[in-house]
Amino acid sequence: MKVNQLFFLSFALVVTLAPPPLFGQVDEYQKKRELMVDRDIRGRGVKDKRVLDAMLKIHRHLFVDESQRSKAYADHPLPIGEGQTISQPYVVALMTEALHLKSTDRVLEIGTGSGYQAAVLAEIVKEVYTIEIREVLAGRSAERLKILGYRNVTVRNADGYFGWEEHAPFDAIIITASANHVPPPLIKQLKEGGRLIVPLGSTVYFQMLTLVTKKKGDIDVEQITPVAFVPMTGEVQKKK
Could you list the active site residues? 87
Q: Which amino acid is at 43?
A: G
CA distance 9 to 229: 27
Q: How far apart are CA 177 and CA 111, in angstroms?
A: 6
Q: Read out DSSP for 76-127?
A: S-EEEETTEEEPPHHHHHHHHHHT---TT-EEEEE--TTSHHHHHHHTTSSE
Residue 154 CA: distances (Å) to CA of 112, 183, 185, 218: 10, 21, 19, 29
Nearest-5° angle of CA 132, CA 55, CA 82?
30
What is the radius of gyration, based on Cα positions, of the chain?
A: 17
- Helices 49-57 & 89-98, crossing angle to 10 degrees? 140
Cis peptide before 19 (omega within 30 of 0): no
